[in-house]
Amino acid sequence: MSLENIIRAFAGTVILVSLALGVAASPLFHSANWLWLTAFVGFNLLQSSFTRLCPLETMLRKLGVKSSGAACGI
């Protein structure tokens, strides 16, 4: 799996889990504060499209994951 695919899968998973835990209509509802995590991931994706700074990309590169192009939605 390429660096870009891992980043997209991780971001999507975090967003879906935080929505499941933060939306009152969800059977997994815990607290509306989980929606802050959703906002953080969305903000990070947006800023990375402009700055090319993606903390997850940096960590994965240090772990030796290979890239097939640009990461973090760029």
Separation of alpha carbons 37 and 65, rounded Å? 25
Query: Pick the residue with more confidence: 34 or 2?
Result: 34
List pLDDT tens digits, range 33-73.
999 999 999 999 999 999 999 999 999 999 999 988 655 54
Residue 30 has pLDDT above 80, yes or no: yes
**67 found inside a domain:** no
For position 74, what pLDDT does the model report?
Answer: 39
**69 found inside a domain:** no
Separation of alpha carbons 10 and 1, rounded Å? 12
For position 67, what pLDDT does the model report?
Answer: 86
For position 72, what pLDDT does the model report?
Answer: 55
Distances (CA, A) of 15 to 38, 49, 68: 5, 18, 24
Number of domains in the chain: 1
**71 found inside a domain:** no
Range of the domain at 35: 3-62
Give pTM, 2 decimals.
Answer: 0.83
Report how far apart the first and last C-alpha atoms of the chain are (Å, whole number).
18
**72 found inside a domain:** no
Distances (CA, A) of 67 to 10, 19, 25: 15, 29, 38
